[in-house]
Structure 1
Amino acid sequence: MGVADVLAAVGMQEFFHGEMPEGRRSVGLALYCGAVGIGGLASGALIAALDGVTRRDGGEGWFADDLDRGHLDYFYWLLAGVSAVALAMFLFFARSYAYRNKTQLVPSNTPANPHHA
């Protein structure tokens, strides 16, 4: 999970930095930090909601203090399902994404006024 997190973080930073216009790079990095923060918030909310729902009838719930009584396997199956849906959504949106023209970003070695040399 750590390797996947590192690879995702580097990819997200590169995307938000590389696809933003030159003057808005700080906005891209802010969007990256916001996406990470929203992900952490959603993760905590999901765990709290599942714990509340699974303990509703007085049972141990999925996140019991005793691992033998809890059902972390259900939680990881749920995460696998959510990840599969996220992968399908990523593939759908990635196919229709159009990258910026990178030639506009490369500074030329010629001066702005070719007659002024």
Structure 2
Amino acid sequence: MKAPTEYQTIYHDGQPAFVLVPVADFERVRPLLERRSVRDAIPQAVVEAHVLHDMPLIRAWREYLGLTQEDVAQRACMQQPALARLERGDSTPRKATLTKLAKAMGLSVEQLAE
């Protein structure tokens, strides 16, 4: 029987900051970390804003990322009032618009699609 591995935890200001693991263990979990579904996950705060507070995903993501409407509109090459309409749910974005918004916020289109 293989003895359990003891992982070393490194603390910073009294809080766990890092865990050192053997390379073999890391290589075993690495494919899970690199899976698309993990990279395209939606944080709990975004889900709660969308589901519990009926906030459109575009706005929930923008606020989660700490961006202003002007920031996102500028990055997506669109007008701020158009983004405001999308965030209020007054209109449904086209695929091309979702693609521009996703790129502007560093997300995948799937993360913005409702």
TM-score interval, normalised by the smaller of the two chains: under 0.3
Q: Of Structure 1 and Structure 2, which has the larger fraction of its residues in helix?
A: 1
TM (norm. structure 1) is 0.27
TM (norm. structure 2) is 0.28
Higher RCO, 1 vs 2 (CA within 8 Å, ≥6 residues apart)? 2
